[in-house]
Amino acid sequence: MKLNNIEDFIREIQMASLEKAMDRAAFVEQFRIKYLGKKGLISELFEEFKTVPNEQKKEMGQALNRLKTAAQAKIEEFKSSVEKLEQQSQTSDLTLPTDYSAVGSRHVLSVVMNEIIDIFSRIGFTVADGPEIEDDYHVFTALNFALDHPARDMQDTFFVEKEPSVNKPTDVLLRTHTSGVQVRVMEQQKPPIRVIMPGRVFRNEAISARAHCIFHQVEGLYVDKKVTFADLKQTLLYFAKEMFGEQTQIRLRPSYFPFTEPSAEMDISCNICGGKGCNICKGTGWLEILGCGMVDPNVLETSGIDSKEYSGFAFGMGVERMAMLKYQIRDLRLYFENDLRFLRQFDTIV
Ligand code: DAH
């Protein structure tokens, strides 16, 4: 019985739009005939209403009246927008150039990524690129990840094609970090190498304010004769000051990454409270911003670089995190939702 679907009809009417109609006036007339015409849906329903048992009449009657009012209101709305459009087309000169003022703006992640690239290019780093769909060899094996390292696990990695036997280097996957580009660069270039590698990475994570399955990293690699940890530290101090202001301090904490030895994580003094302790730095005065270390000799050798002659340092940072700290963005999802109220807050930053 169609009467039961009245609420669906009301919704259908309310959702109706003129937008796609080729001939708007004809569309409105067809719409009227469909719902309010002599043999239209609503009069058909009123006919059916006569057979409704008395105890349901009140409720059904009210719903039917709402349906009729909704259809009439929609037709009024359509008519006035058709009229308005007609007036506009009579008064406006279609040969005039369109309004150029509403140009888009760069996304905050591009802004921050470009800023990072800029800072490193001032001290001689060039930019390198690698594929987002990678193989196990470049993302894990050549970076000294043991075969049973948890990062290779299905829970972290999106596999495109997985070999039946566990973790063969031929597995095809979405890269989980940009560190694999280091390997591609070392395969193609001889030292001295000084590159940064920005790009998108993927991890099989549930989406929340603090985690996302897609994000961006910037990787850095410096390989030459006699590169030391002091070079790493000075380079990163320079970066932190350029990025977060001259007063910024850094601290390096020992850490572990399979591809660097020794490895460290770098914190900067909290740029919100100046190191006194606030809710952003959770009262510690420090914010963790990147991982780094001296390139493990195994990694150099695997990529054909003599580790007795050359040494190097590497680092990797998350662009979303960098932007969060710089602009106090609290929710990772905002980056990907394309909400203009968010995007427009950055349109003055070039
Ligand atoms: N690839 C690491 C990650 O995704 C970050 C990283 C740490 C990169 C240390 C490096 C490094 O180059 O040396 O968490």
Confidence of residue 65 (pLDDT cuts 50, 70, 90): very high
Residue 312 in contact with ligand 1 by CB distance below 6 A = no
Mean pLDDT on 102-112: 87
Percent of the chain with pLDDT over 90: 68
Per-residue model confidence (pLDDT) at position 167? 62
Out of 144, 176, 177, give the residue to mutate to test ligand 1, the one with the largest number of ligand atoms within 8 Å of its CB: 177
Cβ(216) to ligand 1 under 6 A? no
**Cα 292 to ligand 1 centroid, rounded to whole Å:** 6
pLDDT for the residue 136: 92
CA of 177 to the centre of ligand 1 (A): 7
User: Residues 25-42: pLDDT tens digits?
Assistant: 899 999 999 999 999 999
For residues 310 and 91, the model is more confident at 310
Mean pLDDT, rounded, for 233-253: 97
| pLDDT over threshold 60, residue 70 | yes
pLDDT of residue 181: 98
Helix axes 24-36, 54-91, angle to 10 degrees: 170
Beta carbons within 8 Å of 102's beta carbon, 6+ residues apart = none
Q: What is the pLDDT of residue 236?
A: 98
Instruction: Tell me: pLDDT of 93 over 80.
Output: no
pTM: 0.72
Q: Helix-strand-coil percent breakdown of the chain, rounded to 5?
A: 45, 20, 40
**Minimal-distance CA residue to ligand 1 atom 8:** 316
The pLDDT > 70 percentage for the chain reads 96
Residue whose C-alpha is closest to residue 71's, from 34, 104, 46: 34
Task: Over range 179-189, report the average pLDDT.
Answer: 97
pLDDT tens track for 272-310:
888 888 888 889 999 999 999 999 999 999 999 999 999
> Distance, CA 223 to ligand 1 centroid (Å)?
16
Q: Which residues face 339 on adjacent strands?
A: none
Ligand 1 centroid to 256 CA: how many Å? 10
> What's the pLDDT score for residue 337?
92
What is the mean pLDDT of the segment spanning 141-148? Answer: 90
| Higher pLDDT pick, 123 / 328 | 123
> What tokens does 206 get?
């549930």
- Is residue 309 within 8 Å of 155, Cβ to Cβ? no
Q: Whose CA is nearest to atom 5 of ligand 1?
A: 316
For residue 1, is pLDDT > 60?
A: no
> b vs e for 47-78, b when ≥16 Cβ sit within 10 Å of the residue's Cβ?
eeeeebeeeeeeebeebbeebbebbeebbeeb
**What is the torsional sign of CA 336, 341, 342, 347?**
positive
Predicted pLDDT at 190: 94
CA–CA distances in Å: residue 44 to residues 32, 52, 109, 122 = 14, 13, 56, 76
Q: Write down the pLDDT at residue 22.
A: 85
Q: How far is the C-alpha of 142 from the C-alpha of 259, rounded, in Å?
A: 9
**Which atom in ligand 1 lies closest to the alpha carbon of residue 293?**
13
Residue 291 Cβ contacting ligand 1 at under 6 Å: yes
Rounded distance between C-alpha atoms, residue 244 and residue 132, angstroms: 29
At residue 231, does pLDDT exceed 90? yes
Q: Which of 138, 157, 292, 298 to mutate to test the pocket of ligand 1 (most atoms within 8 A of CB)?
A: 292
| Closest to 138 measured CA to CA, from 95, 173, 101 | 173
The CA 176 to ligand 1 mean position distance, Å, reads: 10
Amino acid at 59: E
Confidence of residue 5 (pLDDT cuts 50, 70, 90): confident
Strand segments (E) across the chain = 126-127, 133-135, 159-161, 172-174, 193-202, 214-224, 250-257, 260-269, 286-295, 311-318
Residues 319-340, buried b or exposed e (16+ Cβ, 10 A)?
bbbbbbbbeebeebebbeeeee
Question: 102 pLDDT band (50/70/90 cuts)?
Answer: low
Give residue-wise pLDDT tens across range 152-171: 877 789 999 887 666 667 78
Does 302 sit in the ligand 1 pocket, CB within 6 Å? no
